[in-house]
Amino acid sequence: MAELQGGTRWFFYFLSALWIISIAGVILGSLEPRMELPVGFWNADKLLHCVAYLWLALLSTLIYEGPQKRFLSSIALVFLGISLEIGQMYVPGRMFSLADIGANTTGVFLGFSTGKRCYDKFWQLFSLEKSVSQ
pLDDT tens string 61-109: 988 888 899 899 999 999 999 999 999 999 998 889 999 999 999 999 9
How far is it, in rounded angstroms, from Cα 74 to Cα 62? Answer: 11
Residue 68 counted as domain residue: yes
8 or 112, which is more confident? 112
Residue 9 counted as domain residue: no
Residue 95 counted as domain residue: yes
Residue 2 counted as domain residue: no
Residue 102 makes CB contacts below 8 A (sequence gap 6+) with 46
Q: What is the pTM of this model?
A: 0.83
Residue 113 counted as domain residue: yes
Domain count of the fold of the chain = 1
Residue ranges making up the domain that contains 126 = 45-134
Residue 103 counted as domain residue: yes
